[in-house]
């Protein structure tokens, strides 16, 4: 099916594994996302920021149901399971690497039904860039990479082990700052203000002068 990937098991013909299409912020029962941004000083001259979040794999439900329906026409007993990665990590690229002091986002083997916790410590430059992006409600897209082990079936029907790397997007948007200002605070514990709009007014009533 277009835009969704599903693999059959090489031993059990009724087992199929589906691949995540994106990573999104996990939310609690009240719809509050598991994300926080806190600014602080390592020393008087070293401003820092700590970004913490919990991500969950997401799938296009309609596409997944369509794919399952097609497969079950051929295999009525088919069962579908989220693919199990050997390892996963957050890839920041050369540009973002210059903004980060430390990241605790890499994980060993697991299942994509579980949540992935991630903590990123930003240097002064990273703090300024992320703060400005949040205030403008500009989304930051992170690349979540994971590795899976599979089996490539040859023309002789033998199974050749292969390792495949995949990447999906994890989008962190400034819209969260608008909806949940208490999750994004400066070193004084005050919410980060949104940027002024073209009429020189604050976008939200809760914003304060900094």
pLDDT at 59: 86
Return the exposure string of 103-139: e unless at least 16 CB atoms fall within 10 Å of the residue's CB, then b: bebebeeeebeeebebebbbbbebbebbbebbbeeee
Residue 97 falls inside a structural domain:
yes
Stated as kind and residue range, the H or E segment containing 179 is helix 175-179
Tally of domains within the chain: 1
List helix spans (H) across 5-151: 61-74, 93-97, 124-135
Q: What pLDDT sits at residue 21?
A: 86
Position 176 in a domain: yes
Give me the domain span that covers residue 130: 6-185
Structure token digits, residue 97: 């690497």
In order along its 210 residues, the chain shows pLDDT tens digits of 667 889 899 889 999 999 888 888 999 999 999 999 999 998 778 899 999 999 988 888 899 999 999 999 999 999 999 888 888 888 776 667 789 999 998 887 766 667 888 999 999 999 999 898 888 888 778 888 888 888 887 777 788 888 888 888 887 777 888 899 999 999 999 999 887 654 444 344 333 333
In a domain, 191, yes or no: no
Within a domain: 195: no
Residue 111 lies in a domain: yes
């Amino acid at each position: 099916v277009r835009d969704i990937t599903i693999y059959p098991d090489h031993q059990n013909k009724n087992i199929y594994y589906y691949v995540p299409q994106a990573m999104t912020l996990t939310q609690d029962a009240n719809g509050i996302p598991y994300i926080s941004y806190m600014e602080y000083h390592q020393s008087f001259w070293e401003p820092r920021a700590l970004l913490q979040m919990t991500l969950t794999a997401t799938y296009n439900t309609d596409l997944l149901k369509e794919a399952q329906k097609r497969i079950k026409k051929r295999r009525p007993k088919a069962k579908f399971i989220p693919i199990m990665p050997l390892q996963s990590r957050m890839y920041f690229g050369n540009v973002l690497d210059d903004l980060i002091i430390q990241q605790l986002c890499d994980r060993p083997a697991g299942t994509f039904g579980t949540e992935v916790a991630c903590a990123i410590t930003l240097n002064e430059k990273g703090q300024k860039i992320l703060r400005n992006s949040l205030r403008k409600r500009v989304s930051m897209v992170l690349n979540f990479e994971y590795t899976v082990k599979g089996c490539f079936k040859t023309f002789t029907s033998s199974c050749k082990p292969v390792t495949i790397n995949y990447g999906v997007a994890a989008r962190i948007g400034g819209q969260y700052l608008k909806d949940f200002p208490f999750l994004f605070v400066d070193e004084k514990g005050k919410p980060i203000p949104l940027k002024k709009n073209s009429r020189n007014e604050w976008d939200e009533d809760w914003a304060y002068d900094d």
